[in-house]
Structure 1
Amino acid sequence: MGLTPVAPGMLAAVVTSLEMTTPPAADVAAKELSPLTLVRLESPTLDDYRALFRLVGADWLWFSRLVLDDAALDAIIGDPAVEIYAVRDAAGVNVGMLELDFREGATAELAFLGLASSLTGQGHGRWLMTRALALLWRPGVSRVWVHSCTLDHPAAIAFYRASGFTAFARALETFADPRLTGHLPRDAAPQVPIIA
């Protein structure tokens, strides 16, 4: 019990894993809340994927895919059991992403779900979650899970719980600050101070 120091140049986050073991009731109204579209990216280039990942995740210090070398990232996003979608606005501009991972058979992971911060609070997240759950709960899937951390949007865990997920595990993750390693710009996530 007590405080655990975090070394300069490092960050720490509490990661909460959540699961759903039965499909939620259909939420037709949420499908109609957004003028956005979801487009499957069959074979995204590494650069296109990383740009989409940064677009959504830089404000929340998403780093996990940015620190992978090309071969490791390609092994994930090139796997036929991993589905990547771009969320696009009416002009066809990417404004979000969805990544679904079916590599564990009956357990499907909502690996990444997010929108550009300019869309926060407009109901688009509910629309995107509804679409994600409809894609995840396919024949043969008996469990869907997701993880979030204390660096994500403050309402993320409440949003997942309102969507039907239940927390089942918590862990502490420490990692090098991606703004100091050059994986994200230094001005990313100004709400989290840099301690070099």
Structure 2
Amino acid sequence: MLTDVTIYHLEMLALPAQLIAPPRGGLRVEHVPAPPVPYYRFLYESVGRDYDWYRCTRLSDDALAEFIHHPRDEVHVLHVDNEPAGFAELDCRVENEVEMLQFGLLPQFIGQGLGRWFLRQIVELVWARGPQRFWLHTCTLDHPVALGNYEKAGFRLFKTERIKRELPAGVENS
């Protein structure tokens, strides 16, 4: 099925001066080096199911492992009371740049102020290593507040594209 999609490319060139208090106790962000493929798939599919994320569902376990086990690919998991609540994936393969490939919360944790706090933790983690650029892209298939949240966090829009995307069979554009 063909669907119209707008892709927003955003970047951050310096750490914005913001402080965000944790919305509750029991929060921690954990770096998970070389995550087991089934755990990564659980995170990816749980977070992305409602937003037509399907890239990783098309990869074999070996192909996915090769990508997520690369030494410059990082997975960071938000835990709420020791339960996985969301994740961020960072691609650090390009010198002086970090691209956020994935970011999101599991559905049961949306609407509690966790996303804003988690995003700030990732922003601080990235800027602590001193890149020249931190960037990402989001699109109209993602959560309706994704673009606004990234802009509030300090990302600035630098490019917009409109495309027609073929969604795989069985994937509905909500």
* TM-score > 0.5 by shorter chain: yes
Are positions 1:22 and 2:11 aligned together?
Answer: no
Q: How many residues align?
A: 173
C-alpha RMSD of matched pairs (Å): 1.9
Residue 46 (structure 1) aligned to one of 22, 28, 37: 37
- 1:72 and 2:72 are equivalent in the alignment: no
User: Could you list the runs of 5+ residues in structure 1 that have no partner in the other structure?
Assistant: 1-8
TM-score, normalising length from structure 2?
Answer: 0.89
Map of 1:36 onto structure 2: 27
TM-score with structure 1 length normalisation? 0.80
C-alpha distance in 1, partners of 2:141/2:86? 18
Matched ranges for 1:1-196 at <5 A? 9-27=1-19, 29-30=20-21, 32-34=22-24, 35-90=26-81, 92-178=82-168, 180=169, 192=174
Q: Distance in 2 between matches of 1:111 and 1:174?
A: 21
| 8 Å Cα contact 2:34-2:70 kept in structure 1 | no
Aligned equivalents of 2:59, 2:118: Cα separation in 1: 26
CA–CA distance in 2 between the matches of 1:170 and 1:80?
A: 31
In our comparison, the structure showing a higher alpha carbon Rg is: 1
Residue in 2 that maps onto 1:5: none
Runs of 4+ in 1 over 4 A off after TM superposition: none
Could you say what secondary structure the match of 2:44 adopts?
Answer: helix
- Whole-angstrom distance in 1 between the partners of 2:55 and 2:161: 16
TM-fit CA distance, 1:176: 3.5
Q: Distance in 2 between matches of 1:67 and 1:172?
A: 24
